[in-house]
Chain A
Amino acid sequence: DIQMTQSPSSLSASVGDRVTITCRASQGINNKLAWFQQKPGKAPKSLIYAASSLQSGVPSKFSGSGSGTDFTLTISSLQPEDFATYYCQQYSSYPLTFGGGTKVEIK
């Protein structure tokens, strides 16, 4: 199984901050990497697929980058509605696997 290691597991940031979350795969995943945002009591929402493609309707403050085994989600200017938990997921091989999540909290 491909292990997905997300860091940090949590972070505190202020409105307007630039935030970066990283995800490392235990082997190459051909850029088949997605990022999801989840708020308490809600279904996850897709942000990024294929490592860097923005899901339709998602604001451009979210961006994804990386290749091979190392990937990054960046939020360019954190807003109150962005406080949530973020997950990465590889869909290159079975079983599909998720990172452990990054909880973004208000400083």
Chain B
Amino acid sequence: QVLLVQSGAEVEKPGASVKASCKASGYTFTNYYMHWVRQAPGQGLEWMGRILPSDSNTRYAQKFQGRLTLTRDTSTSTVYMELSSLRSEDTAVYYCITGYSSGNGIEWGQGTLVTVSS
């Protein structure tokens, strides 16, 4: 079955960068987009961007253009999400998601808590 395992919680200072990972298993990694969504404390869900692992094609939400970079390592079936110039408003749980076009349903990672604090 599809499994997405994300890296552990991070604490970063304002202005720094954070890099979280999402390791996929149970399906052909290169076949489906991997998306990232975040959720600030007590708030709703916000789509950030996606990458196609087969060719690294990326698309980002306007809000994150210039600060968000998605990359992948096909040898380990892992996608990385790097967010730079962190501010306190970036404190959130970050999720990876895949499967929108698979016809078999949508799967979520368990989330990575990123705390931005001086």
A-to-B contact residues, CB < 8 Å? 32, 34, 36, 43-46, 49, 53, 55-56, 87, 89, 91, 94-101
Contact = CB atoms under 8 A, between A and B. Distances in A.
B108 A43 contact: yes
Given A34-B100, A43-B111, A53-B105, 12 more contacts: A44-B45, A46-B105, A46-B106, A49-B105, A55-B106, A91-B100, A94-B61, A95-B62, A96-B47, A98-B47, A99-B44, A100-B44
27 contacts: A34-B100, A43-B93, A43-B108, A43-B111, A44-B95, A45-B108, A46-B105, A46-B106, A46-B108, A49-B99, A49-B105, A49-B106, A55-B105, A55-B106, A56-B105, A87-B44, A89-B45, A94-B61, A95-B47, A95-B61, A96-B35, A97-B47, A98-B44, A98-B45, A98-B46, A100-B44, A101-B45
B53 interface: no
A56 B106 CA distance: 10
Contacts of B62: 95
B45 A43 contact: no
The A interface is mostly helix, strand or loop, or mixed, namely loop
